[in-house]
Amino acid sequence: MSDIPMPGVELSNYINGEWRFANCEHWIDDYAPATGEHIASIPCSSSEDIDAAVEAALNAADDWAALSIAERAGWLEKIAEELEERAEEVAQLESLDTGKPITLARSVDASRSVANFRFFAEQGREFESEIFEMKDATNRVVYKPVGVAGLITPWNLPLYLLSWKVAPALLMGNTVVAKPSELTPMTASLLAEVMEAVKLPAGVFNLVHGNGLDAGAPLTSHPDVNLISFTGGTATGREVAKSASSGFKKLSLELGGKNATIVRADVDIANMMPGIVRASFLNQGQVCLCGSRILIHESIYDSFVGAFLEAVSNMVVGDPSDEETELGALISEDHQNKVLSYIDLAEDEGGTILCGGGPPVGIPEAFDNGYWVSPTVIDGLAPDSRCATEEIFGPVVTLHPFSDDEEAIEIANMTDYGLAGSIWTADTEAGSKMAERIDSGMVWVNCWLHRDLRVPFGGVKNSGVGREGGQWSLGFFSEAINICVKH
């Protein structure tokens, strides 16, 4: 953090339809992870800025809630159209701000952000509330807005995750105060520009930049915020839950993961390998759903590991703006150090580094000051070791043999997390049965991150509370009220 605005872009908050400088003495520096260059400064906003944003959201709440759901769906469609016009800009900013490959930023971040608005617009147009008839009465369920929604998001999929919350929150008639990650503020500001361009009524969408303690915490504890949707780390989620609980706010927590990829003996290794490598390393392993523990049937262990290492060594790591690049940089120097410290720990815990283990060799000089770790594969760790059970959230995968399905399930469930998992097998029925016994919110069989936006999304155990996606989002971002009329 510096005391004076640094060169580069200075981002403002967007409150009540206006760009406002924050009530702050400090600025937070935003760096490009690939090069370590300073690219922007964001205000270190305070509780006063949060108060102003919540007040604007409260003032706008009644008029927004008075619109029909079809009218609000129309607004989402307009936002989707405007965002789509700027999709390439979203991809470029996201790649710069996160260090991820431009191809990934285009195919996942930019396109899914547009799709989120479009999907919830469609959900709004199709929305029908329930009627429950009794012999002598009719029950009608009415979905009312909750009020002001506080939305807090992480850095790994910045606009993808923010739009996943903003769209259903607005659709169901809430007004919004968004607090994106201080590490990746760029596309949240772009979204505010989109809201301005489509002339969304003032106060319906408000954006406050800043860090967790100065801006996030006052949002979660604000008495006029009725709902908090938080995506981020488990330790932060615990603080958010404590802060939100005293006001009985509606709360959704999408937290960390330590997901197992289970490779059964009957797997077609060559066919499934691209999917398994993608599950391991997409976004440099910085997706909460990534399979960072690969459990392999002992009968195919050696052949699988050989093929896996060959596939990993062929991955192109380097310049995120190059269309051939498959893996970019990690989000920050702190995060790079955290990931490297886990690799050191793996050696202390008796693991063998089969590939990677440090910064990649041979990337251009321009990236010397960036935050790089090459894809790392570790063998020989006990399945209950720290490296195999704690979330590393980087390009690091541990390998573990198992002797039968029972043991695979036991190892898969050996962590405090319960977000996702995948099973790779020729026997889809056996895989599907096995999936039911994995303690996690989502399990894919012979695929990974194959998303239908209608399905429930969320974790169990320390991976979170609540579900988002399709009707679950609509339910979370509203209060279902029953009106019973006696005939």
Residues with active-site annotation: 254, 288
Query: Which of 419, 473, 423, 481 shows the shortest CA–CA distance to 448?
Result: 423
Would you say 184 or 374 has its CB closer to ligand NAD? Answer: 184
Give the range of 35-43, 176-184, 186-194, 446-454 binding ligand NAD by CB under 6 A: 176-184
Helix axes 301-313, 269-281, angle to 10 degrees: 60
Name all contacts of 472-477 with Cβ < 8 Å and 24+ positions apart. Answer: 473/120, 473/168, 474/123, 474/127, 474/143, 474/168, 474/171, 474/172, 475/143, 476/168, 476/227, 476/229, 476/250, 476/252, 477/145, 477/146, 477/149, 477/168, 477/169, 477/171, 477/172, 477/174, 477/227, 477/229
Give the range of 57-65, 102-110, 215-223, 375-383 binding ligand NAD by CB under 6 A: 215-223
> ∠ CA 238-239-240 to the nearest 5 degrees?
90
Binding status of residue 182 toward ligand NAD by CB under 6 A: yes
Would you say 256 or 357 has its CB closer to ligand NAD? Answer: 256
In the complex, the smallest distance separating the C-beta of residue 216 from ligand NAD, rounded to whole angstroms, is: 2
Local structure of residue 109 (DSSP, 8 states): I
User: Which residue is closest to ligand NAD by CB?
Assistant: 212
Binding status of residue 415 toward ligand NAD by CB under 6 A: no
**Both tokens assigned to 47:** 């509780």
Binding status of residue 152 toward ligand NAD by CB under 6 A: yes
Chain centre to alpha carbon of residue 458:
11
| Neighbouring-strand partners of residue 141 | 482
**Both tokens assigned to 60:** 């706008």
Give the range of 68-76, 151-159, 355-363, 376-384 binding ligand NAD by CB under 6 A: 151-159
The only residue of 220, 283, 462, 473 in contact with ligand NAD, by rule CB under 6 A: 220
Binding status of residue 77 toward ligand NAD by CB under 6 A: no
Q: Are strands 205-207 and 175-179 parallel, antiparallel or unpaired?
A: parallel
Would you say 212 or 291 has its CB closer to ligand NAD? Answer: 212
CB 68 within 8 Å of CB 221:
no
Would you say 183 or 296 has its CB closer to ligand NAD? Answer: 183
354: which residues sit within 8 A by CB, 6+ positions away?
305, 309, 377, 378, 379, 399
Would you say 73 or 217 has its CB closer to ligand NAD? Answer: 217
Binding status of residue 254 toward ligand NAD by CB under 6 A: yes
The only residue of 14, 155, 372, 448 in contact with ligand NAD, by rule CB under 6 A: 155
Would you say 68 or 337 has its CB closer to ligand NAD? Answer: 337
Fill in the per-residue mask, 346 to 385: x = in contact with ligand NAD (CB under 6 A), - = not in contact: ----------------------------------------
Phi–psi pair at 27, nearest 5 degrees: -120, 150
Number of residues engaging ligand NAD in binding (CB under 6 A): 32
Binding status of residue 212 toward ligand NAD by CB under 6 A: yes
CB 228 within 8 Å of CB 150:
yes
Binding status of residue 257 toward ligand NAD by CB under 6 A: yes
Question: Which residues of the shown chain bind ligand NAD in the complex (CB under 6 A)?
Answer: 152-156, 161, 179-182, 211-213, 216-217, 220, 231-233, 236, 239-240, 254-257, 288, 391, 393, 419, 459, 464
